[in-house]
C-alpha cells in the first residue's frame, strides 16, 4: 500500500495532482500539456457523455462530425475570433516525413510543405459556419441544431490535468436560427441544460450568469456561463453558451430566404462543456482519503468485499450474495464483487475509498451467521451493520441519499463561502483570508474590471441571472451600480 | 424533387458518391481529403459504435484516451512501423500564428517553432506502448485490455468519402499479455467480434483470414482481416486485428515480472475498424433508388406517412395511429411519424427510399375506413395492404425478415461472384469479365504476389481461415501450394 495522499489543508494543488494520478483518472502524456485519460477516469467521462448526449437529443439536437483541420484563412474571417485563438494554435505545415539523408532517423520532408497551413481546431465555429452556408437556403432549413463530440487543441502555456490541457475532449453545439429571439432562447436553454447536469448529476451547485465583455467568447455577443466553487475557495467555469448574433453568419455569408420574402443573415449560438468537468467533479467533493463520486456518475456504485480465509468460506459468502447481486443488477445498480485474493480486505477498502465508490459492503463469517453485512458510505465514512433482508432497497435508497447529501454539502460550503463586500479594502481582505465568491457592486466598465483583476487576481465570474436588482455604488470607483456581480479568483 | 441517382450499371463510382451526398451521409470538407459526416450519416455511425462498444466491454476491454500528437522520435522506435506510416503524416511544426507585419492577415509565427515536431496520430501504437511501459510491472498488471475511440490522420493521395479519407474516425484496441498464446487468442477473438458485427448487424457476409506478408500491418507479426465483396465485384477490407508479437514491447521496453520469477517482454495486439464500415454498408446493399439499410443499424426503422387533405383527416389518422406508435416505441422500434405538410406524400416516399428506411407505412382516408394500412419494405420494394390489427407484431417480424433477407441477398451475390481459377489466363479473364473473389493457388512468395498485383491490380485479400487444405500448384509459377487463397481487386 502506497502512503496516503497529501492533505488538502497542506497543499491543495499537490493533493489534486496526486489524487488524479493515484485514483487512476489521468496522467501526463509525453507531449507537453497533453493528458492520457486512464480507463477509470474515462469511464466517468463516458457516464457524463451519456447523460449530456441524451439531454442534447431530447432538446432536438443531432450529432455530426466536422474536420480536425481548419484552413488558416478561415480563422481570420471573424475578426474577434482570430484575435482570441491565433495565439494558441497548433499549426500543421507539412504532410510527410522522410529518412534523414545523413542517416540520423527521420526528418520532415521539406518538399511536402502545404500551400496553406492548417490549424488544429481550437473550436469549430469557422469550419461549421462555412458548412452552414451550403446547408441553409430557406427558413425551411432552420433551425439547424448540431452537436459534435470532439478533441480540440489550444496551446496553453500552463497546463493541469483535466483543468487546462493542450488537447482536451469536449462537445460543441452549433445552431442557426431564423430570429434573434429564437437564438437567445437556445443560448439560455443550453446553459440551463448544463446547470441541470451540474446540479443533478455532478451534485455541483452552480451560479448561472452572463460574462462581462472582457470575459466573453471571441466572436460572441453574449456569453452565458455556469460557475462553481471549489474547496480551496477558487471558482471554476464549468460550461458556457454563446449567443453569436449574426457575427459568424456575416463572416461566412449564411443567409436564408424568409417566409415572407427577402434574404436575411441567420442568428447563431454555440455552447460547450469539456473534460474540465472532470476536474470540477474531483475538486468539489473529494477528501484526504481520495475521490468522492456522486452515485449517478460512479462507474462502480457498490463494491462488495468478502472477508474470508478459506475457499469454503468464500463459497458460502458467494452463495448468500448471489441473489442480492442479481437484484442490484436488475435495478441497474452497478455492483462489483471483488473476491480476488491478490490483496487483503484492508488494502481493498483503501483502494475503493481512493476511487470514490459510493457504497461498500463487507461480509465475513460472523455476518453469514447473523445474516448481516457491514455497509459503509464513502461520503460520510459511516459504517453500520445491517440485516441482509431488505438490503437491496436499502442500498437503492442509500445511493439517492448520498447523491443528495453530496450536493447539500457542496451547497452549504458555497453558502458559507459566498460573502458580500461593500468596499474595496474589505473585498481584498476577504480574497486573502476567506477565499470564495464575493458579491460586490461594480460600475460596469472594462477599465474597473481590469484594475481589480490586476490588483487582486480576482475576476468577475458572472453577472448572475435571477438575482434581484439592487442599486449601490461601485466598490472601486464609487459610480452607480444596479446589481451586485460575482467575483472570485478562478481556475 | 431533384432528379434520380446515377445508375449503378452506368457508373458505380458516381452512383456511390452521389448517394453519399444525397442521402445526407457525408460531404467533402474544405480541407483536402477530409469529410464532414452529416447528422443522418453520423446517426448510423453512432449505432455501429454502440453495438461495437458493448461487444468490446463484454469481452473485458475498457475505453481510455491517448493524445492526438505523437513526438516524431516515437514513430522511429519500431522500424517497420515508421516505414509504414512516415510517408503519410500530418506534421505540426509551430504553435502560434501572428498578424502579418505587412498587414495581410495572419501568418505562422516563426518564433513559435517546436523543438521536436509532432505527428498527428496515424494510429496510436507508439504512444500507447510508451505508456504501457509504466502501467506494466508484473504479471498482476496483465492482461491490459484497452480500446480508444478517436480520430486519426493519414495523408492519403486519393481519397473518397468514407472509404479513404485523410482524417477518419475509428476505434483502436491495444492489448498486452503474459503469453504468446494469450495474445494470439485475443487477436483471433477480436477478428471474430468484427465478423459477427459485420454479418449480424451490417448484414454483410465476410471472409475471415490472414494477410500475406506484403499486406501485413507495419509492425505486426500476423494480421487477421475480414473481407467483404461490394456490388461492383471489388473487395473491401472491413476490419483488421494484429498480433504484434513482442515487437512493440521491445521497441518501448515493456517487460513484466513473471509469476515464476524473471522478467519478460509482454505480447501485444492491436485491432481496429473505422468509418470505412460506412462505405461498406452503403456499397454492399444499396440500389439505384438509394440507400438500403439493415434494420438493426437504421436510425429510422419505420416511417409513417399520412395521406390527407384536411386537418380533420390528419387528426383522424393520428387518433388511429397513436396506440400503434406507442406500441412500436415500447418495443424499442424507432418510428417516425412524418405529418408535415411541407412536402407531398410522393416526395416523402422518394426521400425515405433514398435514405433507406426499412419499412414505410402509408395511411389514407380509405385505410381509415377499412382499418388497414399500406406496408412497403425498402429492400424488395414490395407493397401490401394489411389490417391495422396485429400491425405491431407484423412490423416486428418484418424487420427481422428484412435484416435476414438483406444478408441472404448479399451472401448469394458473393457466392455467385466467388470463382475458382486454376490457371493465370483464366484468372485474368475473370477479373475483367466477371469481377469478384477468385480462389486460386499461390506459391506463398512475395515476388509472385507482387507480379500478380502489377499485372492485374488484384491482390491477395486473405488466406482464408477454416478452409480445407487442398494441394495444388501456383497458377503463376507452377510451384506447389497447400491452400487456395482469396484474390480480388480491392478498394
Q: What is the bridge-based pairing of β-strands A302-306 and A335-337?
A: parallel
Q: Which of A398, A426, A447 is the last residue of a domain?
A: A398
* Amino acid B466: pLDDT: 85
Q: What is the enclosing helix (H) or strand (E) of A177?
A: strand A167-177
CA–CA distances in Å: residue A98 to residues A292, B63, B216, B230: 49, 33, 21, 35
Contact (CB<8Å) A39/B70: no
C-alpha cell at B215: 499486406
Residues A390 and A435 in one domain: no
Q: Given B29, B46, B90, which is nearest A92 (Cβ)?
A: B90
Q: How many helices (H) and strands (E) does chain B have?
A: 14, 27
- Is residue A138 domain-resident? yes
Q: Residue A350: give the domain boundaries.
A: 300-398
pLDDT in tens, A153-198: 999 889 999 999 999 999 999 999 999 999 999 999 999 999 999 9
Average pLDDT over residues A230-245: 98
User: Closest-CA residue in chain A for B86?
Assistant: A97
Report how far residue B111's alpha carbon sits from residue B96's, in angstroms, rounded to the nearest whole number.
8
Q: What is the mean pLDDT of residues A203-232?
A: 96
Q: Name the residue in chain A with its Cα closest to that of B66.
A: A36
Minimal C-alpha gap between A60 and chain B (Å): 12
Same domain membership, residue A140 and residue A276: yes
Left if phi > 0, otherwise alpha if psi is -120 to 50, otherwise beta: which for A443? alpha
In angstroms, rounded to a whole number, what is the distance separating the alpha carbons of residues B339 and A81? 41
Is 0.90 surpassed by the pTM of this model? yes
- B383 in a structural domain: yes
* DSSP 3-state of A315: helix
Which positions in chain B touch A118 (Cβ < 8 Å)?
A: 31, 90
DSSP 3-state of A30: coil
Determine whether the interchain pair A105/B73 forms a contact, defined as Cβ–Cβ distance below 8 Å: yes
Beta-carbon count within 10 A of B135 CB: 17
* B413 within domain boundaries: no
Chain A residues in contact with B73 by the CB 8 A cut-off are: 105
Instruction: Identify the domain boundary among A285, A320, A342.
Output: A285
Which residue among A398, A429, A459 closes a domain?
A398
Q: Are residues A75 and A187 in the same domain?
A: yes
Domain-embedded: residue B406: no
Cell of A51: 447523460
Asked if residues A153 and B120 have their Cβ atoms less than 8 Å apart, the reply is no
The span from the CA of A336 to the CA of A43, in Å, is: 15
Q: In sequence order, what DSSP letters do the residues of B51-119 get, joined into one string? A: HHHHHHHHTT-EE-B--SEEEHHHHTTSHHHHHHHGGG--EEEES-EEE-TTSSSEEE-TT-EEEEEEE
What's the rounded Cα separation, in Å, for the pair A178 and A268? 9
CB-closest option in B27, B92, B342 to A120:
B92
Residue B276 resides in a domain: yes
Is residue A409 assigned to a domain? no
Indicate if the alpha-carbon torsion angle B448, B449, B450, B456 is positive or negative: positive
When CB atoms are compared, the residue of B29, B64, B117 closest to A39 is B64
- Which of A31, A106, A130 comes nearest B76 by C-beta? A106
Residue B101: inside a domain = no
CATH code for the domain in which residue B477 is found? 3.30.110.30
Query: In the structure grid, which three cell numbers stand for residue A409, read together?
Result: 454539502
- Mean pLDDT over A246-258 rounds to 97
The Cα B416–Cα B467 span in angstroms is 18
Query: Residue B103 above 80 pLDDT?
Result: no
Same domain assignment for residues A262 and A216: yes
For the segment A7-51, what is each residue's pLDDT rounded down to a tens digit? 999 999 999 999 999 999 999 999 989 999 999 999 999 999 999
Work out whether the CA dihedral A52, A57, A61, A67 comes out positive or negative.
Answer: positive
Looking at the structure, tell me whether residues A36 and A146 fall in a common domain: yes
Place of cell 461498500: A360
Which residues in chain A are closer than 8 Å to B106, comparing Cβ atoms? 72, 75-76, 82, 86
- Distance from C-alpha of B111 to C-alpha of A7, rounded to nearest angstrom: 41
C-alpha cell at B186: 485475443
Residue range B75-93, pLDDT digits in tens: 888 877 788 888 899 999 9
**Grid cell in block for residue B222:** 500476423
Buried b / exposed e across A468-484, counting CB within 10 Å, b at 16+? eeeeeebbbbeeebebb
Looking at residues B190-194, what average pLDDT do you find?
98
Q: Which residues of chain A are within 8 Å of residue B81 when distances are taken between CB atoms? A: none
B406 touches B294 (CB < 8 A): yes
The H-or-E segment that residue A70 falls in is strand A69-71
Q: Measure CA A110 to chain center.
A: 41
Residue B224 lies in a domain: yes
Q: Which of A2, A26, A31 to mutate to test the interface with B (most CBs of B within 10 A)?
A: A31
Specify whether A49 is located in the same domain as A149. yes
Domain identity same for A158 and A277 = yes
User: Using a CB-CB distance cutoff of 8 angstroms, which residues of chain A are in contact with residue B54?
Assistant: none
Distance of alpha carbon A226 from alpha carbon A221, whole angstroms: 17
- Do A276 and A363 lie in a common domain? no
- When CB atoms are compared, the residue of B87, B108, B167 closest to A68 is B167
* Contact indicator for A358, A395 with CB cutoff of 8 Å: no
| Number of separate domains in chain B | 3
Q: B31: distance to nearest CA of chain A, Å?
A: 7
Residues of A within 8 A of B108 (CB-CB) are 72, 91, 93, 117
Please answer whether residues A409 and A442 qualify as being in contact, where contact means their C-beta atoms are separated by less than 8 angstroms.
no
Average pLDDT over residues B151-179: 96
C-alpha B136/C-alpha B266 separation (Å) is: 9
Looking at residue A2, what is its pLDDT? 54
Share of chain A above pLDDT 70, in %: 99
Which positions in chain A touch B35 (Cβ < 8 Å)?
67
Mutate which of A21, A24, A30 to test chain B, going by most B C-beta atoms within 10 A? A30
Same domain for A432 and A393: no
Cα B205 from Cα B418, distance rounded (Å): 12
- Residue A1 — pLDDT band, cuts 50, 70, 90? very low
Q: What is the reported pLDDT for B1?
A: 41
Residue of chain B nearest A165, judged by CA positions = B67
Counted across chains A and B, CB pairs separated by less than 8 A come out at 186
pLDDT category at A342 given cuts 50, 70, 90 is: confident
CB contact under 8 A, A72 and B30: no
Q: Do B42 and A36 touch (CB under 8 A)?
A: no
- Kindly write down the DSSP assignment for every residue of B207-250, as one continuous string: EEEE--GGGS-TT-SEEEEEEEE-TTS-EEEEEEEEEEETHHHH
Q: What is the pLDDT of residue A80?
A: 79
CA distance A139 to chain B (A): 12
User: How far is A337 from A396, CA to CA, in rounded Å?
Assistant: 17
Q: Which residues contact B25 (CB under 8 A, 6 or more apart)?
A: B19, B37, B38, B40, B41, B44, B161, B162, B278, B282, B291
What CA dihedral angle connects A73, A78, A83 and A85, to 10 degrees? -70
A311: domain CATH number is 3.40.50.800
B229 and B159 in one domain? yes
Q: How do strand B35-37 and strand B335-337 relate by DSSP bridges? A: unpaired
In angstroms, the separation between the Cα of residue A50 and the nearest Cα of chain B is 11
* CATH assignment of the domain containing A69: 3.30.930.10
Q: Are A25 and A42 in contact (CB under 8 A)?
A: no
> How do residues A70-107 score in pLDDT, each as one tens digit?
999 998 888 777 888 888 999 999 999 998 888 778 89
Which of A36, A69, A140 faces B342 most closely, judged by CB atoms? A140
Nearest by Cα to B112 from B102, B92, B97, B99: B97
Q: With an 8 Å Cβ cutoff, are A67 and B127 in contact?
A: no
Q: Do A106 and B119 touch (CB under 8 A)?
A: no
Say yes or no: B145 and B259 in one domain: yes
Average pLDDT, chain B: 95
Q: B213 near B446, Cβ under 8 Å?
A: yes
Q: How far apart are CA B336 and CA B347, in angstroms?
A: 16
- The answer to whether B36 contacts A65, with C-beta atoms less than 8 Å apart, is yes
Average of pLDDT values for B433-446? 96
Average pLDDT estimate for A257-263: 95
Q: What's the rounded Cα separation, in Å, for the pair A136 and A133?
A: 6
Question: A128 with A85, same domain?
Answer: yes
Query: Taking CB atoms and an 8 Å limit, are B67 and A93 in contact across chains?
Result: no
pLDDT range class, residue B2, cuts 50, 70, 90: low
Amino acid at each position: 500500500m502506497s502512503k496516503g495522499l497529501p492533505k488538502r489543508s497542506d497543499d491543495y494543488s499537490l493533493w489534486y495532482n496526486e489524487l488524479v494520478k493515484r485514483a487512476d483518472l489521468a496522467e501526463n502524456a509525453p507531449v507537453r500539456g497533453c493528458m492520457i485519460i486512464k480507463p477509470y477516469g474515462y469511464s466517468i467521462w463516458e457516464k457524463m457523455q451519456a447523460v449530456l448526449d441524451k439531454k442534447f437529443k431530447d432538446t432536438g439536437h443531432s450529432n455530426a462530425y466536422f474536420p480536425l483541420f481548419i484552413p488558416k484563412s478561415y480563422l481570420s474571417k471573424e475578426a474577434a475570433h482570430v484575435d482570441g485563438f491565433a495565439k494558441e494554435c497548433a499549426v500543421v505545415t507539412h504532410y510527410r516525413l522522410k529518412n534523414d539523408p545523413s542517416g540520423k532517423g527521420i526528418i520532415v520532408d521539406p518538399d511536402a510543405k502545404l500551400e496553406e497551413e492548417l490549424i488544429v481546431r481550437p473550436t469549430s465555429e469557422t469550419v461549421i459556419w462555412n458548412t452552414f452556408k451550403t446547408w441553409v437556403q430557406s427558413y425551411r432549413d432552420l433551425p439547424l441544431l448540431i452537436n459534435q463530440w470532439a478533441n480540440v487543441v489550444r496551446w496553453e502555456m500552463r497546463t493541469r490535468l483535466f483543468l487546462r490541457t493542450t488537447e482536451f475532449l469536449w462537445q460543441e453545439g452549433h445552431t442557426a436560427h431564423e430570429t434573434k429571439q429564437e437564438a437567445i432562447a437556445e443560448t439560455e436553454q443550453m446553459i440551463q441544460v448544463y446547470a441541470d447536469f451540474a446540479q443533478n448529476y455532478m451534485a455541483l451547485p452552480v451560479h448561472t450568469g452572463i460574462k462581462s465583455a472582457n470575459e466573453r467568447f471571441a466572436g460572441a455577443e453574449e456569453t452565458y456561463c455556469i460557475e462553481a466553487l471549489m474547496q480551496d475557495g477558487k471558482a471554476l467555469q464549468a460550461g458556457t453558451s454563446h449567443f453569436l448574433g449574426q457575427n459568424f453568419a456575416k463572416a461566412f455569408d449564411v443567409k436564408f430566404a424568409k417566409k415572407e420574402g427577402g434574404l436575411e443573415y441567420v442568428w447563431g449560438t454555440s455552447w460547450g462543456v469539456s473534460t474540465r468537468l472532470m476536474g470540477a467533479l474531483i475538486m468539489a467533493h473529494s477528501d484526504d482519503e481520495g475521490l468522492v463520486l456522486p452515485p449517478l456518475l460512479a462507474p462502480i456504485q457498490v463494491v462488495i468485499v468478502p472477508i474470508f480465509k478459506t475457499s469454503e468460506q468464500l463459497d458460502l459468502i458467494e452463495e448468500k450474495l448471489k441473489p442480492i447481486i442479481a437484484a442490484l443488477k436488475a435495478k441497474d445498480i452497478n455492483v462489483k464483487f471483488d473476491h480476488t485474493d491478490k490483496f487483503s480486505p484492508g488494502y481493498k477498502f483503501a483502494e475503493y475509498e481512493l476511487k470514490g465508490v459510493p457504497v461498500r459492503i463487507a461480509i465475513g463469517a460472523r455476518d453469514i451467521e447473523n445474516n448481516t453485512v457491514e455497509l459503509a458510505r464513502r461520503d460520510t465514512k459511516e459504517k453500520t451493520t445491517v440485516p441482509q433482508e431488505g438490503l437491496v432497497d436499502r442500498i437503492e435508497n442509500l445511493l439517492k441519499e448520498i447523491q443528495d447529501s453530496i450536493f447539500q454539502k457542496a451547497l452549504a460550503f458555497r453558502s458559507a463561502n459566498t460573502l458580500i463586500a461593500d468596499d474595496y479594502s474589505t473585498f481584498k481582505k476577504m480574497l486573502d483570508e476567506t477565499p470564495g465568491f464575493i458579491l460586490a457592486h461594480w460600475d460596469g466598465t472594462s477599465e474597473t474590471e481590469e484594475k481589480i483583476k490586476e490588483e487582486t487576481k480576482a475576476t468577475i465570474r458572472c453577472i448572475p441571472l435571477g438575482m434581484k436588482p439592487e442599486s449601490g455604488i461601485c466598490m472601486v470607483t464609487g459610480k452607480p451600480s444596479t446589481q451586485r456581480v460575482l467575483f472570485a479568483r478562478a481556475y
